[in-house]
Amino acid sequence: MAQDFKDKTERVATHLARNLTALRHARTLTQGGLAKSSGLPRSTIANLESGVGNP
């Protein structure tokens, strides 16, 4: 049960990372630019894109 939750969490993080990176590139934004427009620190954007961050 705990492993299922961990697997699902990792899949969601991977999916989020891919989508966030693709959308950012499609809009020709840097991580810094996205951070500024979203009000989040650039390090949060980097962590989310690497699958490490937790939204």
pLDDT digits (tens, 9 = 90+) for 12-48: 999 999 999 999 999 999 999 999 999 999 999 999 9
Q: What was the pLDDT predicted at 41?
A: 97
Are 41 and 35 within 8 A, CB to CB?
yes
Confidence of residue 3 (pLDDT cuts 50, 70, 90): confident
What does each C-alpha distance from 52 to 27, 44, 47, 55 come to in angstroms?
23, 9, 5, 10
Instruction: Output the pTM of the full model.
Output: 0.84
Confidence of residue 55 (pLDDT cuts 50, 70, 90): low
Are 16 and 48 within 8 A, CB to CB?
yes
Q: What was the pLDDT predicted at 42?
A: 98
| Domain ranges, ordered by start, for the chain | 1-50
